Amino acid sequence: MISRRQLIDQIKQKKSFLCVGLDTDIDKIPEFLKNYPDPIFEFNKRIIDATKDLCVSYKPNAAFYEARGIKGLQSLIDTWKYLPRDTLNIIDAKRGDIGNTSDKYATAFFNEEASGMSFDAITITPYMGNDSVTPYLKYDGKWIIILALTSSVGSKDFQYLETGDGYLYETVIQKANTWAGADRIMYVVGATKSTEFTNIRKYAPDNFLLVPGVGAQGGSLEEVCKYGITKDCGLIVNASRSIIYAGNDENFAEAARAEALLIQQQMEVELEKAGVI
């Protein structure tokens, strides 16, 4: 469990607001790892060891584990067990369903006794409304991270629809703000939408924003910070492929570290500029 205060302290201490995305794909990991009993876990373990002083968060994406069935689930559980306890550990599951089903998703990802895993936060699609979200909030101290404005090209299909009260993504944020405060809710906002951050801060001045889309998707960290950083930082910026696949041989973990270090150094500059540190 990691509170807002602890997250801010971590950011100041590590001079970083980096989230390393563990989108670990069996087809992309170095060949030599395939001799290990669980190549996915072995890969993650080495990435975590190489980056844990440079980031404040890890985000395994559930799809990459679920795609491997029982083996993948075991890799996810073992990865969760290995994650540092002072980082914000997010399961990027993008769930959302009627109440009793959401209850089971919450059990799956938040209740260690039942499932072997207890992430600090989960990504949620808000489309089904309040009753699809509240089951996660029953877990004291856990975070929900609601998709607001995604990095995807398809974000324009729904998220920019006019509701009569602004864009749909603006309505989502305003409505979700009535479900819980900035100590329990974060929003996903894509780095590819950096110019929208000024607008988003009108509706979510204090919420942390989980920002995917730098690196492989081409979003700019500098632009995100220009419009989105707050006095408490208020940003967790994710990079997955650009870090974990920076190298593809025996030195893959060192290559990942070098890439994470570059991002951390840029983050330090941005934190200083914004007066956070």
Q: What is the DSSP secondary-structure string of 212-272?
A: --BGGG-B-HHHHHHHH-BTTB-EEEEE-HHHHTS--STTHHHHHHHHHHHHHHHHHHHHH
CA angle 114, 116, 121 (to 5 degrees): 95
Question: Is residue 205 helix, strand or coil?
Answer: coil
Interacting residue with ligand LLZGTKA7 among 96, 135, 213, 234 (CB under 6 A) = 213
Residue 239 is a binding residue for ligand LLZGTKA7 (CB under 6 A): yes
Interacting residue with ligand LLZGTKA7 among 23, 42, 120, 270 (CB under 6 A) = 23
Residue 176 is a binding residue for ligand LLZGTKA7 (CB under 6 A): no
- Residues 152-171 interacting with ligand LLZGTKA7 (rule: CB under 6 A): 152
CA angle 239, 137, 118 (to 5 degrees): 55
Phi, psi of 207 (to 5 degrees): -70, 145
Task: For residue 71, give Cα distances in angstroms to 67, 74, 241.
Answer: 9, 5, 22
Residue 212 is a binding residue for ligand LLZGTKA7 (CB under 6 A): yes
For the bound state, the minimum distance from the C-beta of residue 100 to ligand LLZGTKA7, rounded and expressed in Å, comes to 26
Token reading at 129: 């409304």
From residue 76 to residue 115, the character string flagging contacts with ligand LLZGTKA7 as x (rule: CB under 6 A) and all else as - is ----------------x-----------------------
Q: Which is nearer to ligand LLZGTKA7, 66 or 112 (CB)?
A: 66
Question: Residue 32 and residue 133: Cα distance in Å, rounded?
Answer: 42
Question: Residue 212 and residue 253: Cα distance in Å, rounded?
Answer: 21
Q: Which is nearer to ligand LLZGTKA7, 50 or 93 (CB)?
A: 93
Interacting residue with ligand LLZGTKA7 among 101, 125, 217, 266 (CB under 6 A) = 217
DSSP secondary structure letter of residue 165: S
Q: Which residues are catalytic?
A: 94
Residue 72 is a binding residue for ligand LLZGTKA7 (CB under 6 A): no
- Residues 177-196 interacting with ligand LLZGTKA7 (rule: CB under 6 A): 188, 190
Residue 238 is a binding residue for ligand LLZGTKA7 (CB under 6 A): yes
Question: Is residue 162 helix, strand or coil?
Answer: strand
Q: Which is nearer to ligand LLZGTKA7, 102 or 150 (CB)?
A: 150
Closest by CA position to 23, among listed 77, 85, 76:
76
Residue 21 is a binding residue for ligand LLZGTKA7 (CB under 6 A): yes
Interacting residue with ligand LLZGTKA7 among 150, 159, 207, 264 (CB under 6 A) = 150
Asked whether 145 and 138 are in contact (CB, 8 A), the reply is no
**Residue numbers of the site for ligand LLZGTKA7 (CB under 6 A)?**
21, 23, 61, 92, 150-152, 188, 190, 212-213, 215-217, 238-242
